[in-house]
Amino acid sequence: MADQCPNNNLSSKPFSHFIILILVFSISLASYMFLISKLFNTSLSDLALQIKNSLYHPHINLCTVITISGIHPLKLFYGALAISVSCSIIALKAFHCLPKEQQIDSIIETVMTVCIAGLLLLSGIQQIHRYDFFKNEQNIFGGETVEERNQILFGRIYDFAQTCKKLLPGTHQGKLMTDLDLNNDPYMLLHRILSYHLYPEISLRLDNGAPNDTIVSFYKHDALMHIPENYRILVLSKDKNYILAIENRSLK
């Protein structure tokens, strides 16, 4: 097996061709950006900032982008690549770097080199925005305990779940009372979050054989009227949207 690959001997590539490619790529990209900034009626630095901030936006389980003046940033970038590739090919041809017998292969190689350079450039810009994201999340979550981080993420649902767990000894199964449509988001997700954080002290989604003696009321209109008389209320939020009740016999 070869340890060295002679076909990848960089010193055989004319350095001047490479310099031309770098220069043309940079100039065409800068010119394109300048043109776009004029079209969008903004400054070049502002456009660069918008491009940087448009990338890397984690959302649920995927990554979204933010449009720039209503245009998808990747469409702008594809335009930049197309222009850079075209200018590079024209420049290399003008400087006689694309001999006729090797022209198509050279053109393909130029296209791929420019596109890979474009990918690396976009990755670099994206990395800056990932760093911004890191700084933002670090400010929010840095130094916090897991419970505090959960509180930041889930707010009242988490507080309610923690309060229920502290007040309720042992493990129980619970019935959920709600007016929310749990078959669709966002309420389906809220239900899952509540169930996750109440478990194991209160099991809403698993029949685990624990006493089925609690009622969890979550955004139920006139909830107090629906709680049976033999249940005692342990947790009641001011707006009555979060209620925990337990059967009296379980408290004895």
Token digits for 72?
């998808």
Q: Would you say 37 or 151 has its CB closer to other proteins?
A: 151
Q: Is 196 in the site for other proteins (CB under 8 A)?
A: yes
How big is the chain by its Cα radius of gyration, in Å? 30
Pick from 52, 149, 165, 240 the residue near other proteins by CB under 8 A: 149
Helix, strand, coil shares of the chain as percentages rounded to 5? 60, 15, 30
Q: Would you say 69 or 248 has its CB closer to other proteins?
A: 69
Shortest CA distance to 85 belongs to which of 115, 106, 105?
115
Residue type present at position 28: S
> Residue 182 in contact with residue 222, Cβ under 8 Å?
no
Residue list 83-112, contact with other proteins (CB under 8 A): 97-99, 102, 104-106, 108-112
Q: Would you say 205 or 240 has its CB closer to other proteins?
A: 205
Shortest reach from residue 104's CB to other proteins, in Å: 7
Pick from 16, 49, 58, 156 the residue near other proteins by CB under 8 A: 58
DSSP 98-126: S-GGGHHHHHHHHHHHHHHHHHHHHHHHH
Q: Which stretch binds other proteins (CB under 8 A): 31-39, 42-50, 118-126, 235-243?
A: 118-126
Q: Residue count at the site for other proteins (CB under 8 A)?
A: 78
Residue list 203-242, contact with other proteins (CB under 8 A): 205-208
Pick from 154, 219, 233, 237 the residue near other proteins by CB under 8 A: 154
Q: End-to-end CA distance of the chain, in Å?
A: 78
Token digits for 121?
């450039």
Q: Is 2 in the site for other proteins (CB under 8 A)?
A: yes
